[in-house]
Structure 1
Amino acid sequence: MRIATYNVEWFANLFDDAGALLDDGGWSGRQDVTREDQIAALAQVFRAIDADAVMVIEAPDSSRHRDGALALANFAALAGIRAREVLIGYPNDTQQEIMLLYDPDVMSARHDPVGFETGKKGSRNPPRFDSTFRIDLDIDATEDLITFSKPPLEAAIETAQGGFRMIGAHVKSKAPHGARNRDDMMRLAIANRRKQLAQCIWLRARVTHHLEEGDPLILAGDLNDGPGLDEFEELFGRSGVEVILGSDLPDEMQLYDPHAARALQSRIAAQPATARFYLRDENRYLSALLDYLMVCPLMRPRASDWRIWHPFDDPACWRNDTLCKALLTASDHFPVTVQLAAQD
């Protein structure tokens, strides 16, 4: 069984309000990429990875007027992929949903939130992901009220070989919009980074709950964070990825992702990358490790062949010129996959 996570940039722009694909020459949200070109590229990428389940990050938006799950199902039909059923958790207001595409011939999936609801006052005990978490991240003795703009998807999955859980997450630190000067920019950036770290602590609490319950678990998605990624890591002591992995905890409480492990081993060596962004001001590309497939100790013996479908770093992708171009056209992120062997 192959599990994937894939952040698709501006996926929502490829559909009309009825969920039909806008397969035409109009511009997509991607720079210099038409909608028909992005749709064709995405179809090719999804067919190439041929996953049994794909955690789609930045999936088409859902609202009173738009059905993102229908839109994604329409894309799956056009692409002709096995993963054609759609699971959505909590819709959000950002036009970037988290959805699971899966093969109904291989598995069933349902959204199964853990925790309790809170009001706006929140709770110090980690609540449901669509609620409010109270946490003090600094020394001012004042608790912060933390919410997710994109509440994680909690999927309970059943297969013929047994069940497991998947958490799909998109954790993001906002840019310091509204800053009037450099000091103001730094203050806002640190505040936003603190919120991102709090969200990772919240995610880690849910991971700990499942590990204590003995639940097989995969955490998938875009964490917009990684060891050594920015200057604030030294200020806070560790990255959000390290928090979620449980790097300072006993082995039986840690998650594992080989790309994260490699990045943690040496921060001056070449790092794996799952995303590639063009920096207009610097006229160059920046590569970053942002997307992860983390498995719990129970699932680690079954997990193998983690792969970043990078058009330049993966030899098979590089040798396939058509796939290489499709990966660059489809999104600024690249899919990550892992193979799961059947249970004994």
Structure 2
Amino acid sequence: MRLATYNVEWFTTLFDRENRLEPNGEWSARHNVTRAEQAEALGVVFRAMDADAIMIIEAPDASGKRQTVPALEDFAAHFGLRTRAAVMGFMNDTQQEIALLYDPEALTAKHAPRSGTADVPRFDGTFEIDLDIDATRDSVTFSKPPLELEVTTNAGFTFQMIGAHLKSKAPHGARNPAHAMKLAIANRRKQLAQAVWLRARIDRHLNEKTPLVVLGDLNDGPGLDEFEGLFGRSSVEIVMDGPAGALFDPHASRALTTRLGPVPTTARFWIKPEKRYLQALLDYIMITPDLRQRGAAWRIWHPLDDPACWADVELREALVMASDHFPVTMDLDI
């Protein structure tokens, strides 16, 4: 079984209001890339991955202009993908949904949100936490509620899957550098609160001995920026480890133990003022210990770091064209 997570930058702009893929010569939301070029590149990438299930981060919007599931299923039909069924959870208002595209011949997947408690509400609710140690509880919500799924393979193995896209730290609307810093710190507090909320749900699964896969874009990584020194831990560290035990992702583990030297990366962004690319580790597939024992093997489909991706010229160019993130896959014997 191959599972994947893939953040497709502004996937929603490739579809019309009837949820049909619209691969024409107009510009996509990616810089200097047309809709046709991005769509064709995505088709190449999805076929090459040949995953049984892909957690799509920034899936097509479901806010009224179009619908996520029909759009993804039309995309799959257009390129003849075996991952032809889609499922999503709670809708959000960011135009970037979280959805799973999967092969119905290999598995079934259904939205299965856990009921909330007073301390740990459902992901479409409100989480109360003291963000700044002032003895006052703050109310936190997910801009993109995580997608909780119950998955059963055709071999009869059942496990839980949580797809997540934690809030960005970008200080949008800043009036000056001081205001930008204030907004960035506030956004970081909210992001860490979301990580604590997600971790509380993970602890519940671990306590119940439930096989679990947590995957997606955490918009954070160990040592990624100066805020880690201010708050002590990254979102990744919070999500990976907690009272009930640890999850495992080899790329995150390597980054956490490497103070100097290269670490894996899953995203590549153009920094216009500096005229260079910034690479970062943002996308993860974390699993419980029982799943790790089932021959788990990870791969980042980075066109510049993975020799097989580099050697395949069509795939190499498609990975760069399709998104500013690269897919992460994991193979499991389930």
The amino acid that maps onto 1:35 is: R
Contact 1:164 1:215 in 2 (8 A): yes
Show the counterpart of 1:226: 221
Report the CA distance shift for 1:300/1:219 in structure 2 as closer, same or farther (over 3 A).
same
Report the CA distance between 1:211 and its aligned residue. Answer: 0.5
Instruction: Please state if 1:278 is matched with 2:270.
Output: yes
Show the counterpart of 1:149: 143
Report the CA distance between 1:175 and its aligned residue. Answer: 1.9
Partner SS, residue 86 of structure 1 = strand
Partner SS, residue 58 of structure 1 = strand
Q: Equivalent residues in 2 for 1:301-312 (5 A)?
A: 301-312=293-304
Contact 2:88 2:100 in 1 (8 A): yes
Q: 2:245 aligns with which of 253, 264, 276?
A: 253
Gaps of 5+ in 1: 118-122
Q: Distance in 2 between matches of 1:256 and 1:204?
A: 13
State the aligned residue count. 333
Contact 1:171 1:223 in 2 (8 A): yes
Report the CA distance between 1:336 and its aligned residue. Answer: 0.2
Which of 186-195 and 169-178 deviates more? Answer: 169-178
Contact 2:142 2:167 in 1 (8 A): no
Instruction: Please state if 1:128 is matched with 2:122.
Output: yes
Report the CA distance between 1:209 and its aligned residue. Answer: 0.3
Show the counterpart of 1:120: none
Q: 1:197 aligns with which of 186, 189, 192?
A: 192
Q: Distance in 1 between matches of 2:65 and 2:280?
A: 35
The amino acid that maps onto 1:136 is: D
Provide the TM-score with structure 2 as the length reference. 0.97
Q: Distance in 1 between matches of 2:222 and 2:143?
A: 23
Q: Distance in 2 between matches of 1:303 and 1:275?
A: 26
Q: Distance in 2 between matches of 1:48 and 1:64?
A: 32
Q: Distance in 2 between matches of 1:219 and 1:95?
A: 22
Contact 1:253 1:297 in 2 (8 A): no
Partner SS, residue 30 of structure 1 = coil
Contact 1:303 1:338 in 2 (8 A): no
Q: Distance in 1 between matches of 2:295 and 2:141?
A: 32
Q: Distance in 1 between matches of 2:297 and 2:247?
A: 16
Instruction: Please state if 1:292 is matched with 2:287.
Output: no
Instruction: Please state if 1:334 is matched with 2:329.
Output: no
The amino acid that maps onto 1:52 is: D
Q: Distance in 1 between matches of 2:173 and 2:73?
A: 38
Gaps of 5+ in 2: none
Give runs of ≥4 in structure 1 deviating > 4 Å.
Answer: none
Q: Deviations over 1:176-210 (max 9, x none)?
A: 22323322221111110000000000000000000
Partner SS, residue 302 of structure 1 = coil
Report the CA distance between 1:173 and its aligned residue. Answer: 2.5
Report the CA distance between 1:25 and its aligned residue. Answer: 0.4
The amino acid that maps onto 1:82 is: R
The amino acid that maps onto 1:299 is: L
Contact 1:19 1:71 in 2 (8 A): yes
Q: CA RMSD in A?
A: 1.2
Provide the TM-score with structure 1 as the length reference. 0.94
Which of 73-82 and 145-154 deviates more? Answer: 73-82
Contact 1:263 1:272 in 2 (8 A): yes
Q: Distance in 2 between matches of 1:181 and 1:27?
A: 32
Partner SS, residue 298 of structure 1 = helix
Contact 1:222 1:291 in 2 (8 A): yes
How many percent of aligned residue pairs carry the same amino acid?
60
Q: Equivalent residues in 2 for 1:113-192 (5 A)?
A: 113-116=113-116, 123=118, 125-159=119-153, 160-192=155-187
Q: 1:243 aligns with which of 235, 238, 242?
A: 238
Report the CA distance shift for 1:303/1:94 in structure 2 as closer, same or farther (over 3 A).
farther
The amino acid that maps onto 1:199 is: Q
Show the counterpart of 1:5: 5
